[in-house]
Structure 1
């Protein structure tokens, strides 16, 4: 039986310091059991606003799959596996397979005087296998999304960013003027409104709202703006 649950933007966990406002689908800042709080395979889903020149300094991850979607501004990524940074801009996604261990940093590439925030939606999933070699890849989806009016697979099987987590895929859609797009279903769907207003199966959604769906054959979305969805075939064991 298909079930629907709406999590409003105001109900998301909020964490703030002088440089970052993190709006979280699941509590992720501090000492939390990420797997226990997960929905399907999704352990972390943070929508972060990063002040100019600020961000996250070098820190360590292991045996986790990290996918980042750049909404606004630009993010400068550095990691222990590369000698040069990668600059990510709106319309780009990045996948880090932390594997046996990687150190990385993510900072707003616009300087302190620019007054330009960066916005990034970041998701974490558990890796199928522990201790694999770390890897990093970024891809620009701007041309693919332009005028598509449909969901585009950003990460997962048959995408430019394959994951080390089976049974999971991330999709993004840009819809204009009340457009309609259909997402293939799964055991768990986490639909997030990045910008705009949408409706899905009788539920009205605004920026920052989440629709969590279980056991759905497909999900039809109508509206104007940008939505991001995770479709997952299983939950964390």
Structure 2
């Protein structure tokens, strides 16, 4: 029996996020993460994690495990070096889409090796990235990795499908995720440019930087997010140079 959803637009401000801050990491969590737990804030739709991370040069996340999760990383500034136990490695930078399928289990590390990438010159260049986790269609799939440059597509100013498992996006999707009910879109907007949100049972809009005006809800600044239920089609207009990340989800956890 299908449950009827109540339309809702839930604005979450940047200052309301959980924070983890240590010497090498400044991380903002949109949902419960690590020791930060709120039983009323564990996910929206299929999205369980939306972490906004800044990592100091020469540091990063040491090798650690993941299982049964589709992990998409979107770099906003600087570069991030990925290595995993399946033999994949790569440098992720702005305009490059990256997905890791943890599946049956994978070990990986993520480091800000900018000092090494420039021949060992001593300088401080933090990397900032958003890491997002969605559940896969099924547990126990084979681990995998994919990355692709999509900077040219972003220059057009519209919503670009970054990652999707939905059949209707197959021709236009940069990278694939193993969930047929979820897709991630991104846009870089100049002042006055706008995009229209897709319609879906669940949407998650995140503004990594800049300022936009959300139709019916007002201005959103850097770090603000909106959780939409049973709605969509609203216009998002940049009032200063901005970037937006939009998860379109046609199912929820559980």
Equivalent position SS for 1:111 = helix
Number of the residue aligned with 2:154:
145
**Cα deviation, residue 33, structure 1:** 8.4
- Equivalence for 1:116: 125
Which is strand-richer, 1 or 2? 1
**Contact 1:15 / 1:29 at 8 angstroms: preserved in 2?**
no
CA distance in 1 between counterparts of 2:24 and 2:189 reads 31
Q: Distance in 2 between matches of 1:32 and 1:57?
A: 23
State the Cα deviation string for residues 4-47 of structure 1 (Å, max 9, x = none).
11111100111111111111101212375899711111000000
Structure 1 gaps of 5+ residues are none
C-alpha separation in 2, matches of 1:35 and 1:231 = 21
Matched residue pairs, number?
235
Asked whether the equivalents of residues 46 and 182 of structure 2 are also in contact (C-alpha less than 8 Å), the reply is: yes
The equivalent of 1:208 in structure 2 is: 223
After TM superposition, the structure 1 = structure 2 runs for residues 8-157 of structure 1, keeping only pairs within 5 Å, are: 8-30=13-35, 32=37, 37-82=42-87, 85-111=89-115, 113-146=122-155, 148-156=156-164, 157=166
The Cα shift of 1:149 comes to 1.7
Alignment partners' CA distance in 2, 1:176 and 1:104: 36
CA RMSD of aligned residues (A): 1.8
3-state SS of the aligned residue for 1:235? coil
Question: In the alignment, is residue 163 of structure 1 matched against residue 168 of structure 2?
Answer: no
| 2: CA distance, partners of 1:33 / 1:100 | 27
> How big is the shift at 1:68?
0.5
1:83-117 Cα shifts (integer Å, max 9, x gaps): x6311111112101111110000001212832100
